[in-house]
Amino acid sequence: MLDVTHEQVPVPRRLLKTVFAQPSRWTVVSRPSDAVNLPSDWGTRYAVCPACQGRAPISGFSPELSCPHCHGVFAVAWDERYLKRR
């Protein structure tokens, strides 16, 4: 079970990966169809900062991004398998 916005959501174990370290690169996230707190001009995807978990818009396929919240500069995880399924 995952706790998503204070609701427990069942997820098959085979779809989960347990890690014990924070990510070191930006995570690319597809915009949820019911998103209400994301600016519409961010388009179909956004990035999550590995240091502060702040959200940021992305355009194109820049190899790294600067976080508008913590000002850290990190590589973008474009090589993640979940992005290649599309």
d(CA 35, CA 63): 26
DSSP single-letter state for residue 76: B
**pTM above the 0.85 mark?**
no
pLDDT confidence of residue 5: 77
Amino acid making up residue 11: V
DSSP line for 15-39: G----SS--SSBEEEEPPTT--SS-
Strand-pairing partners, residue 29, are 46
pLDDT confidence of residue 84: 67
What is the full per-residue pLDDT of the chain (86 aa) written as tens digits?
777 778 888 989 888 888 888 889 999 998 888 888 888 889 889 999 999 999 999 989 999 999 999 999 999 999 987 776 55
